[in-house]
Amino acid sequence: MEKELDWGNLSFGYMPTDYNVRCRYADGRWGDIEVSQSETIDMHMAATCLHYGQEIFEGLKAFRGKDGKIRIFRLEENARRIRESAKGLLMAELPEEKFIEMVRKVVELNARFVPPYGSGASLYIRPLEIGMTAQVGVKPASEYLFVIFVTPVGPYFKTGFRPTNICIMRQYDRVAPRGTGRWKVGGNYAASLTAGEHAHELGYSAVLYLDPKEKKYLDECGPANFIAIKDGVYITPESESILPSITNKSLMQLAEDMGIKVERRHITVDELAEIDEAAAVGTAAVASPVGRIDDLDTGIKYVVSKDGNPGPVVTRLYETLRGIQLGELPDTHGWNTVL
């Protein structure tokens, strides 16, 4: 680095690093892993990713631990999930072992960009796969490019671990029932931009979507899963249109380790009046506490945080997961890959 980065003041955005890694699929097979210093991709203007949305991606992080070692969190789960996304969009599935090798390689090549322990920052890892075949007929590509780049990012909570307000707006759907919601597809995020910007303009941090069929049950919370604590039980929505969050899966395991009952089930809007804590959970924030949920169609305001502070269970879960990622607490489930 030409000049030392201000690790404590990084944004959650893109910053160039030294290398990215690539792998191409053609003639029915994946090629060798390539190391590249280019930040661009050369593709045909008729590539299927540009016209028919054959694009999938993942997001995971590497951390500099208390012991100085680099830890990549749950990369095997991301390897499995992107294969499910590929299956859903009829794309070539990258073998899990190749995904793991590519992630390890790109992190090792860019090790100097892994922020120091105590900075609150991390190295964000972005794998993506795109259809490269030049065609105008609506059919799956026969050639694919898999790329993984990394970038150091700052802590999600610039103002500290504090509750934010979210809203319900029934005029927007994120995905269709039994559509692409369960896969990490760029189109899902494109479909959420209008609603997300509308919410931000109104002063909310995110939209809590309802199920797209009946508008009765809770679905996803913007780009994150929704969780709540009700009568000491960890509850999270059950739906075929929700992306299976690796963070949510990890927090559910930690909750069970703590003796907390976990339920994945339908949660009605009315039930929000009975919850004690809530959070949006995902790779970026781990757990973003919710202070209030405003139903903009009915005018009902569901106050989750009575004192403006995160709830005790969400706080404990957040601190435990962060502690495991940073090597401060024992990794009893073997979630970290230590380089």
Give catalytic residue positions: 184
Strand partners, 218: 210
> Distance between CA atoms of 67 and 273, rounded to whole angstroms?
44
What single string gives the DSSP state of each residue in 127-169? EEEEE--B--SSS--S-EEEEEEEEEE--S-TT-S--EEEEE-
Angle between helices 75-88 and 246-257 (to 10 degrees): 130
Q: By C-alpha distance, which of 164, 160, 156 is closest to 10? A: 156
Query: Are the C-beta atoms of 180 and 188 separated by less than 8 Å?
Result: yes
Output phi, psi for 232, to 5 deg. 80, 5
User: Judging by DSSP bridges, how do beta strands 164-168 and 206-210 pair with one another?
Assistant: parallel
> Distance between CA atoms of 321 and 46, rounded to whole angstroms?
43
Residue with tokens 């090597």: 327
Q: By C-alpha distance, which of 223, 215, 310, 312 is closest to 270? A: 215
AA identity, residue 236: T
What single string gives the DSSP state of each residue in 293-320? EEETTT--EEE--SSSS--HHHHHHHHH
In angstroms, what CA-CA distances link 85 with 15, 61, 111, 337? 27, 19, 28, 23
In angstroms, what CA-CA distances link 143 with 80, 131, 187, 234, 245? 21, 6, 20, 43, 28
